[in-house]
Structure 1
Amino acid sequence: MTTMYTVGKLFGLFSVATTLVIVLSLAAASATAGLAIMLGRGLDLLLSGGSLPGHWYWPVAAETLVIVLSTVLTPVVIARDKDISTREQRENLLQHYLAIGPLRLRRLGEGELVSIAMDSVERAARYRTEFIGPALSAVATPLLVLGFIAVFIDPLSALLLLILTPLVPLIVIGFQRRFRASSGEYRRSQGILAATFLEALRSLDMLKLNGASQWMGQRIARASERVRQQVMKLLSRNQLVLLVIDSSFAVLLLSSAALLAWWRASTGAISPGSAVALIALSFLTLAPVNYVGSFFYVGMTGRAAEEKITQVLREPIHRASLHPARASLGDHALQLQEVSAHYAQDEDALPALSGVTLNFPAGSRTAIIGPSGSGKTTLLRVLQGQLEISSGTIHDGHRTLGPATLRANTAVLDQGAELFGSSVRHNLGLGRPQASDEEMIEVLSAVGMGPWLAAQPQKLDTKLGEAGARLSGGQAQRMALARALLARRSVLLLDEPTSALDVRTEAEVLDTIRRVTAGLTTVTVTHRLGLLQDYDYVVVLENGHVIQAGRREELLATPGHLKSAMGAYRRRTNELYRALGTQGGEQ
């Protein structure tokens, strides 16, 4: 399983930063206790009619300096540790999201996973950096202070105060267990809100066209209201913690310390200055109470966030993320033998692909056609290594190819070009991070983006805008094609790569694809029969089964689905030409 937090640790328990925070906090507590004792002794000297000697000032100055340095350095260490923790946790989560595969991500809920990567990581980082170290030092502070009281003031008073100290951790643990369920409800409601908002962003155009913006707004409002209610519950219970702890333990401890100081001073066991120091030190023993009251919400929500992150990191890694075997699909055919695949975990459910046997010769061009729901995209997912097969084998004639090997040997171009708002270099580098600038410029020129790049002042550092907003639809597809080609994979998988483009742009992109994919094994899902003339082989799918497969010319000359579909297509085309008053020819 991916390590959740990789900052160096001391003795395998705490990060170095957390240990440093504990040391600084305890140093400040020790210096404060020593300062209180020195002030008490100074008070005794003044009350006895004497004056403060010169050597009294040196420890006071030293202890003050330690307090100042600890107070200044602690937040600096915490802030730096938080940045490191946040960055590493998000990197680990992103790597794990990629490792478990896109299909598993959809089942887990993309909105929930986004919420975990953003809000939960933030809360977990705060918990690890702002809560654990200071909380541990706050719990240790009363014991440290009682040690100072026992050594420098009065052992009996320290012993009596020690009896009350264990109440603090018992109260804290009890409240954490009591409120854990409410923290989980808050986390779930926040995940629902994130998922709803993400869904709205993806569907803005559809919502506007259908006049459903108000409906979606109501959904977001209801999800927001659930989050508000859960936040109010957490805050109210946090206030309850403050009330219970402050009104019970704090008052009890301070009053006990005051009575002890009066009693021991009246009997002559301790001096008046020591009695004042004892009361002052009793305030330090309240450190756990004050800290829990101030940061209980951080600890409660942070612990719940860590549990959620750990739960996601326990999701099994997809086999496609394991080390691929060496294969040469550029020289050997990609072959499927009696392959079946399921989306559901229950293999008794109806398979998305059933008994598929296909052969994709090296360097060939194959079109996959069939009605909606026939299994075309499922077949591409199997070839990509995204979807594991439930039976059968995939091989190259020499060895079986697992998901990891398939992913390492295939490049993908989907319907919508998935581009990021970063630079051209970063977008292309996803295909092959080690590619040089010269290679990137060469592949951009090959797909027809050379003139566009030359016109950009920042060249490869040009920002594409969110989701490639600075590019037209055709330019975005060419950029995605360039990324796929830069990866230098032997097999190129195309899933309706021009379905979202207008006719003219589609023709230009198809011409580019035809030109730059020469020599690659190309498998394309398409529903446009007029494009089949570009392909050597055609596969016809229906309900997850292959009903026809072979060379395009042979299938067109043989009675069957493809011949019938092409005949109907040609008739419709000719009728359209006649209706437009032009002479249509067969394609």
Structure 2
Amino acid sequence: MLLLDKTLLRLSKGLWGWIVAIVIVRFAQLIGVTLFAEVIGTFLGNLASPHPDTTKLAAAASAAAAASLLTLVTRLAQGELQYRTTASARVHLREVIFDKVLALDVGGIEKIGPVSAITSSADAVEQMQTYYSLYLPSLIFSVIAPVYLFFHLAPMSLSIAVLLLVVSVVLLPLNNLFRHQIEALRRRYWVSVEDMTAYFLDSVRGLTSIKLFDRDADRSQTLQSKARRLSADINEFMRINFSSHFVNEALMYLAITIALVIVCFDLAAARINVGSGLTILLLAYGYFASIRQLMDATHDALTAVSAATKVEDIFAVDTSRAYNPQAPTDPEAYDGIRLEHVSFSYPESKNRMALNNVSLRVPRGKTIALVGLSGCGKSTVAALLARFIDPTAGNLYIDGQNYLSLTPEELRYHVAMVPQTVSLFTGSIRENLQIAAPNANDEKLYEALDEAALGDWVRSLPDKLDTAVGDAGSRLSGGQRQKMGIARVLLSQAKYLIFDESTSSVDEASEQEIWHCIRKLSRTRTLVIISHRLSTIRWADCIYVLEHGCVTARGTHEELMQHEGLYQQLVAEQAKLEGAAA
């Protein structure tokens, strides 16, 4: 029952005002219930006496009405406060989790996976919010209420007051016997949730392929098995929760039964009157109301703790980045980007260097191309330039400044990238472009679209810039999406532009248009191009050839073709393939 989770408690910042307010209102409600029990007990005891005092009837009725009104008002206030706490928790949790997910950068997202990011910021929040509106207030109140009632019962029957207090104190630690089972189950439960969610998302994304190969029945059976596994985990949670309820209820009713026996003996021995006896029984029955409310909130707390486990995995990812404003400047004062003896290895493959002692230069106003076989380190260089990752060894400089003297955000004012697949967001063309320049007017937007060979098409649309692009840009072709990415990069006004296989997923006509756009940009911008089609980068000012994470050759196309090596081999093989295709 004591489900105090460090992640949930750490995320409770800013919510404690609401939690305390709920506890105060519930305590006021307890006062009303206690007052009502005492009034009714005294009233019934008075009626049961041989000589009832009828003059006290009006006072008893007024007191009972006042107690009932107090209870009603506090119940309404409790409901309102719980609603507001839930709403505040939902907003607060999503802000904190989403901020962390955004801070993960590309490398961090790959570590946890996009499904974990989605389930943590969506499903997990829905499960965690009740921890603050129901469980924590109930836990605090379950400690306060028995102590308060003890002092009300003690003057009438000390033995019963002690009995009920001892049982209430024993109930909380007793339920921790179930905690070890909960610890084992919560991770298994969340793994089942993610497994089913990921499989379902994959099925939706690949629905066309599934239908084409008539595999929907197999896919459905697998999904059902995953759903059954999740259902089994939920049922196991329910079983533990029921066991906890059974133990609690058995002890509570045993304590109430013993209290009833003690009251009967005290009445027979004339140690208490009928009014006191009835009041004791009424308070004894309501003594464990706070424990019951805590039990009811425990199931929600179980799912909240399970969800928090996955959120903790996200928080555990280190998002700190090296930053030293006093980092030494480039001794060469190079006007452009310079990599000096840079090495890098990914955490999951530390024994293999993705880059090994790489040195290269990107002069201002020039176009540099990176070529090589798949896995040679081209995209790793691009990720370093955009500072999605930091080098394991070596130094990077931009216009004489050390990369470590700039935050990633500051660096990206100077360096922008058009990736292999441009990400568009549900909304309009205008909204997607203004991600790079929130204050850009229509003139600036059309100027960027014209440079990306997309302006005439947008002007021909009925809604022009306000045209919806669909879910993740689904209403646009692959070429249009890539051109949108180029226009967005142009709006950023970055001096250095990286094109990482930006035409690999478009048709031939769109590819020609995009390369024409890139050639025009090379006259005014500094470009770093990664392309599998070597015929399109022959005009680059310098081509770097990478093999197994090392630079093995560099020069212009003509210079590289004069020497036998990987570049000459790749050009020859591609020429054969293009000739055969033609």
Shorter chain as denominator, the TM-score bin is: 0.7 to 0.9
Return the match for 2:339 from 327, 336, 340: 336
Query: Pairwise mapping of residues 310-349 of structure 1 onto structure 2 (< 5 A)?
Result: 310-319=312-321, 332-344=335-347, 347=350, 349=351
Query: Pairwise mapping of residues 270-309 of structure 1 onto structure 2 (< 5 A)?
Result: 270-309=272-311
TM-score normalised to structure 2 length? 0.87
Distance 1:512 1:122, change over 3 A: same
- Superimposed CA distance per residue, residues 82-101 of structure 1 (whole angstroms, 9 cap, x where no aligned partner): 22222222222222223233
- Do the aligned partners of 2:256 and 2:284 also contact (CA within 8 Å) in 1? yes
Does residue 175 of structure 1 match 2:191?
Answer: no
- The alignment partner of 1:547 has SS state of strand
Give the drift of 1:224.
2.2
Deviates more, 1:398-407 or 1:183-192: 398-407
Q: What's the counterpart of residue 488 of structure 1? A: 493
- Do the aligned partners of 2:329 and 2:402 also contact (CA within 8 Å) in 1? no
Does residue 523 of structure 1 match 2:509?
Answer: no
Distance 1:309 1:496, change over 3 A: same
Deviates more, 1:522-531 or 1:166-175: 166-175
Give the drift of 1:264.
2.6
Distance 1:561 1:440, change over 3 A: same
Inter-partner Cα distance in structure 1 for 2:132 and 2:95: 17
Inter-partner Cα distance in structure 2 for 1:390 and 1:305: 34
Match of 1:114, as an amino acid?
A: I
- Do the aligned partners of 1:141 and 1:284 also contact (CA within 8 Å) in 2? no
- The alignment partner of 1:523 has SS state of strand
Q: What's the counterpart of residue 353 of structure 1? A: 355
Q: What's the counterpart of residue 22 of structure 2? A: 21
Q: What's the counterpart of residue 3 of structure 2? A: none
Give the drift of 1:570.
4.9
- Do the aligned partners of 1:21 and 1:134 also contact (CA within 8 Å) in 2? no
Q: What's the counterpart of residue 82 of structure 2? A: 78
- The alignment partner of 1:319 has SS state of coil
Distance 1:388 1:221, change over 3 A: farther
Aligned length: 568
Query: Pairwise mapping of residues 539-558 of structure 1 onto structure 2 (< 5 A)?
Result: 539-557=544-562
Distance 1:243 1:575, change over 3 A: closer
Give the drift of 1:436.
5.4
- Do the aligned partners of 2:334 and 2:400 also contact (CA within 8 Å) in 1? no
Return the match for 2:53 from 50, 54, 57: 50
Inter-partner Cα distance in structure 1 for 2:534 and 2:181: 64
Match of 2:416, as an amino acid?
A: A
- Superimposed CA distance per residue, residues 389-427 of structure 1 (whole angstroms, 9 cap, x where no aligned partner): 222221136332137264453212112221121344443
Q: What's the counterpart of residue 122 of structure 1? A: 126
Does residue 108 of structure 1 match 2:108?
Answer: no
Inter-partner Cα distance in structure 1 for 2:12 and 2:172: 28
Give the drift of 1:559.
5.1
Query: Pairwise mapping of residues 146-161 of structure 1 onto structure 2 (< 5 A)?
Result: 146-151=150-155, 153-161=156-164
Inter-partner Cα distance in structure 1 for 2:522 and 2:92: 39
Distance 1:210 1:367, change over 3 A: farther
Q: What's the counterpart of residue 516 of structure 2? A: 511
Percent of paired sites with the same residue = 24
- Do the aligned partners of 1:189 and 1:226 also contact (CA within 8 Å) in 2? yes
Q: What's the counterpart of residue 443 of structure 1? A: 448
Return the match for 1:232 from 228, 232, 235: 235
Inter-partner Cα distance in structure 1 for 2:510 and 2:417: 20
Q: What's the counterpart of residue 582 of structure 1? A: none
Does residue 473 of structure 1 match 2:478?
Answer: yes
Cα RMSD after superposing both structures:
3.2
- Do the aligned partners of 1:369 and 1:541 also contact (CA within 8 Å) in 2? yes
Distance 1:420 1:558, change over 3 A: same
- Superimposed CA distance per residue, residues 457-512 of structure 1 (whole angstroms, 9 cap, x where no aligned partner): 66655442211112222222222222222222222111211221111122223333
- The alignment partner of 1:464 has SS state of coil
- Could you list the runs of 5+ residues in structure 2 that have no partner in the other structure? 1-5
Inter-partner Cα distance in structure 1 for 2:462 and 2:370: 41
Query: Pairwise mapping of residues 409-420 of structure 1 onto structure 2 (< 5 A)?
Result: 409-420=414-425
Give the drift of 1:560.
4.4
Inter-partner Cα distance in structure 2 for 1:575 and 1:32: 89
- Do the aligned partners of 2:469 and 2:475 also contact (CA within 8 Å) in 1? yes
- The alignment partner of 1:29 has SS state of helix
Distance 1:86 1:459, change over 3 A: farther
Distance 1:135 1:458, change over 3 A: farther
Inter-partner Cα distance in structure 2 for 1:119 and 1:326: 46
Inter-partner Cα distance in structure 2 for 1:409 and 1:298: 48
TM-score normalised to structure 1 length? 0.87
- Superimposed CA distance per residue, residues 30-83 of structure 1 (whole angstroms, 9 cap, x where no aligned partner): 110111101122223333433244443443333222211221121222222222
Q: What's the counterpart of residue 14 of structure 2? A: 8
Q: What's the counterpart of residue 535 of structure 1? A: 540
Distance 1:115 1:534, change over 3 A: same
- Do the aligned partners of 1:337 and 1:357 also contact (CA within 8 Å) in 2? yes
Inter-partner Cα distance in structure 1 for 2:436 and 2:324: 18
Match of 1:539, as an amino acid?
A: Y
